[in-house]
Copies of this chain bind each other. A is one copy, B any other.
Amino acid sequence: MTLSEAIEQYVPDGASIVMGTAMEALIPFAAGHEIIRQRKRDLTLIGPISDILFDQLIGAGCVEKVIAAWVGNVSGGSAYNLRRAVEEGMPRPLEMEDHTNFTIALGLHAGALGVPYLPARTALGSDIQRRNDHLRSITCPYTGDRLIAVRAIEPDVAIVHVQRADEAGNCHLWGNLGVTIDAVRASRRVIVTAEEIVPADVILSDPNRTLIPGFLVTAVVEQPWGAHPSPVVGYYNRDNDYFHEYHRETKTPEQFHRWLQRWVLGVKDRNHYLERLGRDRREALRPRRRAPSAPAEFGY
């Protein structure tokens, strides 16, 4: 299955999608750009933070609602499309359901555990809690403590990028995990893009690294550089310049549309994007040293 087919089949208009689950790393930019190219509409985006991917989808007019803790450009600051959408309704009005990182994590964890809510001690007294009906006040039946009940979040689709998977979608991923595992389990469908599809034997050699079992995966697609400009430890580093360029080049709607034309709408697919990025730029992001993990022994 190609990425284009996966998005077409499993991301209908109006879907709620959790992305950017590993925070600033492993962001599924290739999949996000394909969503923009296919002009999906009325999406709800869910994530703790999203770096600039959410901003791009918002600017492209795909998004009706964002359920998140933070939307911006991590190394640059504000996200201009988010601001235009919230402040001016451009290119369309945007509903924001504000959370904290922890309440997003707990909402997805509740979904993954199959309970309608989870209790927490965070955000009490904040306007985040006061203005979000999915963060209601409750009282502990044992201690009488005041807590918040974080309502379960059950996205229609999780889109995650991983280091390697086999053809059945069993995934090895490493580095910081953010909310990835719970997001995958909480979602009705799961689309995986992987740097590499590897033989099943590689995955089977280390079941403790198989944090996403294939039977939960709806579609798996090999997509090298699928997270660029975000980093994938062991494969490539963060393209910091790209984030700074985005910040400089999207201050007005006109600038953003030029950017979008150059990097998303005007490229056919991810290979075309990578061509445009250029070999030198890619090579400069490659790891300069090897640092393989020490083996764990599974023999018996």
Contact = CB atoms under 8 A, between A and B. Distances in A.
A300 B297 CA distance: 25
Contacts of A134: 142
Contacts of A113: 120
Contacts of A291: 205, 297-300
Contact of A172 (B142, B175, B288, B296): B296
A121 interface: yes
A293 B296 contact: yes
A115 interface: yes
Copy tally for this chain in the complex stands at 2
Given A115-B119, A115-B120, A289 B299 contact: yes
Interface residues of A, number: 49
Contacts of A234: 296-300
Contacts of A233: 297-298, 300
A141 interface: yes
Given A116-B143, A116-B145, A293-B297, 8 more contacts: A115-B120, A118-B119, A142-B149, A175-B208, A205-B293, A234-B299, A288-B299, A293-B296
